Amino acid sequence: MEQPQDSPAINPLGLTFTNRFTRDLPADTNNENLRREVSGACFSRVQPAATSGPRLVAYSHEVAEMLGITDEQAASKEFVQMFSGNLVTGDMDPFAMCYGGHQFGNWAGQLGDGRAIALGEVATPNDGHLTLQLKGSGPTPYSRRGDGLAVMRSSVREFLCSEAMFHLGVPTTRALSLTLTGDMVMRDMFYDGNPGDELGAIVCRVAPSFLRFGNYQLFPSRGEIDELKTLVDWTIRTDFAHLAQGDGEQNLAVVTAWFEEVVRTTAEMVVQWMRVGFVHGVMNTDNMSILGLTIDYGPYGWLEGFDPDWTPNTTDAGGRRYRYGNQPSIAHWNLVQLANAIAPLFDDDIEPLQAALDTYPNEFGSGWNAMMAERLGFLGFAGDADNELFGELGRVLQLIETDMTIFHRNLALVDAENADDLDDADLVRPIADAWYVDPTPSVEAEMATWLRTWADRVTVDKRTAIERQLAMHAVNPKYVLRNWMAQLAIDRVDNGDFAGVSELLELLRNPYDDQPEHEAAFFTKRPEWARERAGCSMLSCSS
Ligand code: AMP
Ligand code: MG
C-alpha cells in the first residue's frame, strides 16, 4: 500500500528503523487491504487507519527509554500522532502478520493480526531490535469479521498489565503508549444482543518479536514446508542468535536446540504466572509467544480468592479450559502443537522433538518447586516433604475464600520462631487479613497446623527472621493489578480523567515495595461491589 504523498521520509523521534522481518521474509504479493486467505507469506503490508482526534492517556517511561525516546519527546504532538497511526514515515514498513492457531483446542486455520499493525522494527541503543506494534489500528487482510479496532477498557487493561507483569519479573511484551483515538467503536460486551458505543483506543506494544506458535503452524497446514523452513531459520538467526550457525540454513541439531529452548522458556513463563496469580484466559496457540513472553492481554485476570478452577473468561465458562490450575498442562499441549508443526522439517525422525517435549514436565516441575520454596521462605527445595507441604497449603487455602496475594505477602510476618508457643489465634493473626469471611474454629486450627509444619521447615534453614522476610517479600508481591483496580482506572478514563492510569502504573512499578500510602486502597481484598461486576470478575473475549 502506498504511503500518503506528504509523509516525511524519516520519523521525527529519531528511531532507527531496520525492518528485518519485512526485509527478509516472504511478503503477501497482493497489496489490497481486503479480508482474505493469504498463502505463502509471513505478512501483508498494510497502513494503519487514520484516527480523528488522538489523545495520549499514558506512556511507559521505561519503554520510551529503551527506545531512546525522551520524556520531552513523549509529550510531543509527533509522539501521539505516530503511536495512534496518523504519522507513517518513509523509514517504517507497516505490516500485519499471517498466522493460524488452535482456538480452545480446535484448529482454526488462518487468523493473523486482525487488529494489530506493526509500524516496523527498530534498532535500540541498548536493548537490541524491537518491533513497534499498534493494537487497534484498523482492518487488515486478517480482520475476518472484525473491525480491526480496540476499545478503551481492554486497552487500559493491556497497557497496565504488560507493564505490571514486567515489574513483577514475568516475561512479557511491553507497552509504550495508550492513546484514545477520538473515534467510537461499537461492541456487544457480553455477546447478548446489547451493543453500545465505546471509546476507541490504541496501545503501542513493544517486543523483540511478536511471532507466535501459530506462525509456524499455518505453513505446514497448507503444505508450505519451504516457507516454514525459511521462517524457522530466520527466527533462529535473529532472536536465537546464540544458537545459530552461519547466516543460512540451520541444521537439525540447531533446530532441536531451538525447540528445547522454547519448551524451557514457555515452562518458565507459566511458573511465573502461577507465582503471581495470573490467569491468561485465552491460551490459544496464536497467543503463545515463541520467545516465552506473555502476549495478547485479553480477558485475563488475577486470582483474588485462591481457586485453581477460576477463569475470568466468560467465553470459556463451560469447559474452563484456561483456568488457573490448568495453565501448566495447556502450555504443554500447545508445545505439542508446535512440535507437530515443525515435524516436517525432521522428515520421519521426530525422536529429537519428542525428547524435547518430554523435558516439559521436569522443566515445569523443577521451576515450580524452586518457585514455591522461595515463596515459602526456604533456601532451596528439599524434596518430597516440601511437595507435601505445598499440596497441603493448596488444600488449606481453599477451606474458606482466602486472598492469595495477601496470604503469601503476610506469611513472611508469621512468627515462625515461636510457632509452637503461640495459640492458634495469635499464630494465624498476620494472615487473617487474607480471609474473606471469619474462619470457623476448625479452619483456624487447620491453618495453624499448616503454619506450624511450615515453621518447623522454614527454621531448618539457618536464616534470621529478618533475612527470611526480606527474601519472601522479594518474590511475593504486595501489589498486583487486581481486576477491580484496572476497572477503577477505566471508569475514570470514561469520565475524562486520565490520571488513574498513570497512578496505577506508578504503584505497579514497585510491586514488592511496601508503599504504605497505598496499602488501604490497594493491599486489600476485592471489594464487594467488584464480585459480580463486569470487567472485574467476568470478562469476555469482546475487546
Ligand atoms: P485473540 O484471541 O483476542 O488474540 O484474537 C484472535 C484473533 O481474532 C486474532 O487473529 C485477532 O487478530 C482477531 N481479532 C480479535 N478482535 C478483532 C477485531 N476487533 N477486529 C479484527 N480482528 C480481531
Ligand atoms: Mg491473539
Residue 287 Cβ inside 6 Å of ligand 1? The answer reads: yes
Q: State the ligand closest to the CA atom of 150.
A: 1
Average of pLDDT values for 209-225? 98
The number of CA neighbours under 13 Å toward the Cβ of 137 is 30
- Does 3 have pLDDT greater than 60? no
- Residue 505 pLDDT: 98
- The three grid cell numbers given for residue 415, joined into one nine-digit string: 512468627
- Does 502 have pLDDT greater than 70? yes
**CA nearest to 448, candidates 420, 474, 485:** 420
- Residue 1 pLDDT: 46
- Residue 299 pLDDT: 96
**Grid cell 522481518 — which residue?**
21
Residue 48 Cβ inside 6 Å of ligand 1? The answer reads: no
Q: Give ion ligand 2 contacts, CB < 5 A.
A: 287, 296
Name the band, by pLDDT with cuts 50, 70 and 90, for residue 252: very high
| Catalytic residue positions, numbered | 286
- Does 209 have pLDDT greater than 70? yes
Burial of 510 (0-12, 13-18, 19+ CB in 10 A): middle
Residue 35 Cβ inside 6 Å of ligand 1? The answer reads: no
3-class DSSP state of 393: helix
Q: State the ligand closest to the CA atom of 289.
A: 2
Q: How far is the CA of 370 from the centre of ligand 2 (A)?
A: 31
- Rounded CA separation 256/246 (Å): 16
Average of pLDDT values for 402-413? 98
Whole-model pTM above 0.95? yes
- Residue 2 pLDDT: 46
Average of pLDDT values for 422-429? 98
Q: For ligand 1, what atom is nearest to the CA of residue 287?
A: 4
Average of pLDDT values for 1-12? 76
The fraction of the chain above a pLDDT of 70, given in percent, is 99
Q: Are 58 and 98 in contact (CB under 8 A)?
A: no
Identify the sign of the CA torsion 34, 4, 150, 202: positive
Q: How far is the CA of 115 from the centre of ligand 1 (A)?
A: 6
pLDDT per position as a tens digit, 98-151: 999 999 999 999 999 999 999 999 999 999 999 999 999 999 999 999 999 999
The number of CA neighbours under 13 Å toward the Cβ of 40 is 3
Residue 415 Cβ inside 6 Å of ligand 1? The answer reads: no
- Residue 4 pLDDT: 57
Q: State the ligand closest to the CA atom of 112.
A: 1
- Does 284 have pLDDT greater than 50? yes
Backbone torsions φ then ψ of 411, nearest 5 degrees: -55, -35
Question: Which of 98, 135, 286 has most ligand 1 atoms within 8 Å of CB, for mutation?
Answer: 286
- Rounded CA separation 146/154 (Å): 15
Residue 104 Cβ inside 6 Å of ligand 1? The answer reads: no
Residue 115 Cβ inside 6 Å of ligand 1? The answer reads: yes
Average of pLDDT values for 46-51? 98
- Does 213 have pLDDT greater than 90? yes
- Residue 348 pLDDT: 77
- Does 278 have pLDDT greater than 80? yes
- Residue 229 pLDDT: 98
pLDDT per position as a tens digit, 343-376: 999 997 999 999 999 999 999 999 999 999 999 9
- Residue 50 pLDDT: 97
Average of pLDDT values for 327-346? 98
- Rounded CA separation 308/331 (Å): 16
For all residues of the chain together, what is the average pLDDT? 96
- Does 427 have pLDDT greater than 50? yes
Average of pLDDT values for 279-305? 97
Average of pLDDT values for 30-51? 98
Q: Are 431 and 414 in contact (CB under 8 A)?
A: yes
Q: How far is the CA of 147 from the centre of ligand 2 (A)?
A: 15
Q: How far is the CA of 111 from the centre of ligand 2 (A)?
A: 9
Average of pLDDT values for 476-501? 97
**CA nearest to 61, candidates 53, 69, 50:** 69
**CA nearest to 97, candidates 237, 276, 267, 217:** 217
Q: What is the 3-state secondary structure (H, E, C) of 144-190?
A: CCCCCECEHHHHHHHHHHHHHHHHHCCCECEEEEEEEEEEEEEECCC
Residue 109 Cβ inside 6 Å of ligand 1? The answer reads: no
Q: How far is the CA of 301 from the centre of ligand 1 (A)?
A: 19
- Rounded CA separation 34/143 (Å): 9
Cβ partners under 8 Å of residue 457, min gap 6: 376, 378, 382, 385, 386, 389
Specify the amino acid at residue 15: L
Name the band, by pLDDT with cuts 50, 70 and 90, for residue 310: very high
The fraction of the chain above a pLDDT of 90, given in percent, is 93
